Structure 1
Amino acid sequence: MSDSTLPASGVALATPVRVAVARKRRSKRMRTLFPYLLVAPAVLYLLMITLYPGAYAVYQSFFLVRFNSWTPIGFENYADLFADREFWAALWNTLVIGVLALALECFFALMLAYFAYRDPWVQGWRIAFLVPMLFMPSAVAFIYKLAFLDGRIISDLLMRVGLISENLAIPSSIWLSRATLILADVWQWTPFLFIIFVAALQGQDEEVEEAARLDGASWWQIFWNISLPLMRPVIAVALVLRGIDITTMFANVFIITKGGPGGATETISYFIYRLGFKSFNFGYASAASVIMLVITIVVAQLVVKRAFRSGRT
């Protein structure tokens, strides 16, 4: 029977059914899109503060920028950077300070996580280990500048106990200046790794440890031969996150050493700041930031892939 032969009552019944089906489809579509609508403002905000500045820096790196004067120069900024000894020195300083700081932070965080995971007394004071991370980086830098440089508090204490005979010449010593930056970073950010490592230990299967304990293994043997290999991917990701953060170390360098002595503590972030906001060579500074971004991404990708491949094997 064709639609033209349907009685009027049939048409009247069909219309509410179609409306109900349409509403059901719209409600199902809304339920699917609703989570995306909730996170859309946050995603747009993150894109505005990360993607746009990055794209703008890449674009700016192909120009000779002097305030409002933009002169296209192609890849000249990048060519000059690769021939710039100060750029390579800043990369080397960032590598030295970053590797030493990361090694110390990883060691202390693993030790604290081991005792906080096992020792009941340390577990009760777990929250105290997080206090340094709550300070602003600039506040920590001023504290260490006062203790090591302006106030000479550490030098006075060492002289009183007879370990040294004169004040530490930190401003004129390359390794003492680097050690001050490393110590400030280790003190503040070891708790970050500590939180991650404790969570990784608590998430491991207790039956594996119990089996090893029944076989006569000590707590240290269990940690070294079982817990630590299982934590390898987590450790790699944590170190990559901290490594990326160390490459942007600026407050400590700016407040404590100003890049001295002789540029021995000038990290890549301070080098970019000096080019952009002291020399006003914004295109050159943008090219340096782009190169550092590429290096960071490549190194992070290699470390994470190697760690996860080792974890599977």
Structure 2
Amino acid sequence: MASSAHSIKAVAPATARPSTGTLRRRSPRMRSAFPYLLVAPAVLYLLAITLYPGIFAIYQSLFVVRFVKWTWAGLDNYERILQDAEFWAALWNTIIVGGLSLGLQTVIALALAYFAYRDPLIRGWRIIYLMPMLFMPSAVAFMWKLAFNDGRVISDLLMTIGLTHGNVDWLASVWLARLTLIVADVWQWTPFLFIIFVAALQGQDQEIEEAARLDGASWPAIFWNISLPMMRPVIVVAVTLRGIDITTMFTNVYIMTQGSPGGATETMSFFIYRQGFRMFNFGYASAASVLMLAMTILIAQTLVKRAFRSGRS
């Protein structure tokens, strides 16, 4: 007994010693700052590629820039651009093409989401609707340029079914040229809204839908009177995001129309590109981009605020 007790006493201090490899606990300040340290590299990267170009564009818009020669102009570029008929024409073209395209995308995406959410057969093939969004915008623009203009695919199809009697020059008419841009944009980016609308339908409270069914409501009535009002904030945010992207429409215009006929399809992005990289008015182009950014932020902020205010009420 004495020997066993002595051995226990001899072992006890050895087991009570803390291991040298044990990590010390972080201080409360370090624990609270650790998540911010993890995301700091990504935040710094995003600031570098977004905030700096914006500040540089604002600074450059205050000068008349001709390559390395910078001449102070103050607000002269903004005064000139507000009196520029081409600027307002490009803004109007952006509103027309973007508005019609966005309206069609919203209606088609809601219809597809309605059937994909309700019909099991269509629900199983929903991945097919997402395929156009996976193509590069330049590839889509070349494809539709081939279909409308170079390859005359659409013209031959219309002649085959008897709607036209000859080749259609899509760039000879203002509205036909705009139609080519709208079709290309709707074909590629309707899946973006479709994904969001289907997710919004699937995220709704199923008990409300079941209660409406027990009351004898049909599925179209449920969708129109219950689902759509509940989806209103989601729809507004999705449409706003897509609208912001439409204001930067450049690839389709550059590849398919080059702004023709007579500038009828020149959007704001193409106007800024033409001023900066064809006419080398870099300060003037920067002023146009700053004005476009300010208008986009103002409209988007107003729409989102109203949507969420109405959703709370």
**Equivalent position SS for 2:70:** strand
CA displacement at 1:25 relative to structure 2: 7.1
TM-score normalised over the length of structure 1: 0.91
Equivalent position of 2:304 in the other structure: 304
Matched letter for residue 233 of structure 1? P
Question: Matches of residues 100-119 of structure 1 in structure 2 within 5 Å?
Answer: 100-119=100-119
Residue aligning to 1:294? 294
Equivalent residue number for residue 177 of structure 1: 177
* Displacement of 1:30: 2.7
Deviation of the 1:163 alpha carbon: 1.1
CA distance in 2, matches of 1:169, 1:147: 12
Structure 1 residue 26: deviation in Å? 3.9
Displacement of 1:31? 2.4
Q: Report the CA distance between 1:162 and its aligned residue.
A: 1.1
Corresponding residue of 1:56: 56
Give the Å deviation of 1:269: 0.2
Aligned pairs for 1:92-103 (under 5 A) are: 92-103=92-103
Are 2:263 and 1:263 equivalent residues in the alignment?
Answer: yes
Map of 1:273 onto structure 2: 273
Q: How many residues align?
A: 291
Q: Give 5+ residue unaligned stretches, structure 1.
A: 1-22
Deviations for 1:263-286, whole angstroms, at most 9, x for unmatched residues?
Answer: 000000000000000000000000
Q: Does 1:162 align with 2:152?
A: no
2:83 maps to 1:83: yes
Which residue is 2:123 aligned to?
123
- Counterpart of 2:216 in structure 1 is 216
Secondary structure of the equivalent of 1:231? helix
Q: Which runs of 5+ in 2 are unaligned?
A: 1-22
Residue type of the partner of 1:128? I
SS of equivalent to 1:166: coil
Report the equivalent of 2:282: 282
Which SS does the other structure have where 1:254 is aligned?
helix
How far apart are residue 171 of structure 1 and its match?
1.2
Q: How does 1:4-23 map to 2 (within 5 A)?
A: none
Amino acid in structure 2 at the alignment position of 1:160: T
- 1:31 and 1:130 mapped to 2: Cα distance? 42
SS at match of 2:163: coil
Structure-2 separation of matches of 1:44 and 1:281: 31
Matching residue's letter, 2:146:
L
When the two chains are superposed, the root-mean-square deviation of aligned CA atoms in Å is 1.1
Instruction: Please state how far the C-alpha of 1:169 moved relative to its aligned partner.
Output: 1.7
Deviations 1:37-88 (A, max 9, x none): 1111111110011000000000000000000000001100000000000000
Identity level (%): 71
Question: CA separation in 2, counterparts of 1:25 and 1:284?
Answer: 57
Q: CA deviation at 1:32?
A: 1.9
1:105 deviates by 0.3
- 1:193 counterpart letter in structure 2: L
